Amino acid sequence: MQLGPFLAESVPGMGILGGIVGTTNAIAKNVERVSRRTVSGKDALLDIGQEGFKNGLATALTFAAVGSIGGELIVSVGATLIIGSTLKYLWDRGFEQVAAPARAPTRRMAGPAVRRPVSTAPRTARRSVVTSPIFAARRPVIAADA
């Protein structure tokens, strides 16, 4: 038995499949964040769980709505894109509004910022491509220039 066709037979199965895809995307995103030390391992695991659940629920609700609409393939694909992205967008914005007061501002865990010396040299304008001597030689001669 193959997993994809088995899960695609029902709305809960599609939700599980959406959760699997959302979880793998969240893992890929958080591996880099943890390696750069912009997020702790605990926060990364929390984000992975939230993304998996959120994507699974959005996928299940999307396919339930698309199944009730019916229609041809192009209508189903369009409805899936619109409904799924709208649900995900609303969930993300709603979660940010609820969680924003509870979360303290995060800072990089890598350590203090490195101070770099400020250059006191005057800034000069860069030469543009038009005034470059390479392009000046290729400019066509106009009667007024000659």
Q: What is the pTM of this model?
A: 0.59
List of the chain residues with pLDDT < 50: 127-129
pLDDT score of 69: 84
Determine the Cα–Cα distance for residues 102 and 87; give it in Å rounded to an integer. 23
Nearest to 53 by CA among 74, 24, 22: 22
Please tell me the predicted confidence (pLDDT) of residue 42: 92
Convert 63-97 to b/e letters by CB count within 10 Å (16 or more is b): bebbeeeeeeeeeeeebbeebbeebbeebeeeeee
Question: What pLDDT does 23 receive?
Answer: 95
* Contact yes or no for 56/35 (Cβ under 8 A): no
Separation between Cα atoms, residue 14 and residue 63, nearest integer Å = 7
What does the pLDDT read at residue 120?
A: 64
Q: Which two tokens stand for residue 49?
A: 């769980």
Task: Give the separation between CA 33 and CA 36, rounded to whole angstroms.
Answer: 5
3-state secondary structure of 142: coil
**Beta strands of the chain (E only): which ranges?**
none
Using only C-alpha atoms, the chain has a radius of gyration, in whole angstroms, of 27
